[in-house]
C-alpha cells in the first residue's frame, strides 16, 4: 500500500479547478517520465516519445435515496509519487485510503 503525506491528502475538494490540477499532473509528470525514458534510451517514433500517467480520481455524486441526484464533483486526484508506487501525491479532499490499490 502506498502512503500519501498529510499535507497533500487533506484539503478542500478540487471543485471546478480539477481540470487545472489534472493538466498540471499530466504535463509535469509526463515531462519527468519522458526525460527519464530518453536518458534510459527508450524507443521513440523519431520525433516524439509517449508516456503513461496513472491518475486516480475520487468523484462524489449527490444522491436522493437510490437515485443519483446531480453531476459529480471531483474531490481528489492522486498519482504515484515515485517509480514503483511506494508513495503517492494527492490533491484535494482525499479519503485515508486514497493511495490503496484499485480493486475492480
User: Is residue 47 situated within a structural domain?
Assistant: yes
Residue 1 above 50 pLDDT?
Answer: no
Q: Does a structural domain hold residue 80?
A: yes
In sign, the C-alpha dihedral spanning 50, 52, 55, 61 is: positive
Task: Tell me the per-residue pLDDT of 53-68, one tens digit each, with 9 for 90 and over.
Answer: 888 888 888 888 888 8
Distance CA 47, CA 64 (A): 52
Torsion sign (Cα): 85, 86, 90, 96: positive
Whether pTM > 0.75 for this model: the answer is no
For the chain, give the mean pLDDT: 78
Quick one: pLDDT band at residue 73, thresholds 50, 70, 90?
confident
Q: Does residue 45 belong to any structural domain of this protein? A: yes
Provide the domain limits for residue 35. Answer: 3-92
Q: How many domains does the chain have?
A: 1
Structural domain contains residue 102? no
Whether residue 54 is contained in a domain is answered as yes
Report the percent of the chain where pLDDT is more than 70: 80
CB proximity list for 23: less than 8 A, separation 6 or greater: none
Q: Taking 80 as the threshold, does the pLDDT of residue 82 lie above it?
A: no
- What confidence tens digit (pLDDT) does each residue in 42-55 have? 777 778 888 888 88
Amino acid at each position: 500500500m502506498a502512503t500519501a503525506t498529510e499535507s497533500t491528502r487533506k484539503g478542500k475538494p478540487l471543485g471546478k479547478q480539477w481540470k487545472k490540477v489534472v493538466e498540471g499532473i499530466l504535463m509535469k509528470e509526463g515531462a519527468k517520465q519522458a526525460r527519464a525514458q530518453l536518458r534510459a534510451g527508450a524507443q521513440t517514433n523519431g520525433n516524439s516519445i509517449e508516456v503513461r500517467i496513472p491518475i486516480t480520481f475520487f468523484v462524489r455524486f449527490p444522491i436522493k435515496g437510490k437515485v443519483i441526484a446531480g453531476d459529480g464533483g471531483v474531490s481528489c486526484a492522486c498519482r504515484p509519487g515515485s517509480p514503483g508506487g511506494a508513495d503517492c501525491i494527492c490533491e484535494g479532499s482525499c479519503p485515508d485510503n486514497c493511495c490503496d490499490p484499485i480493486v475492480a
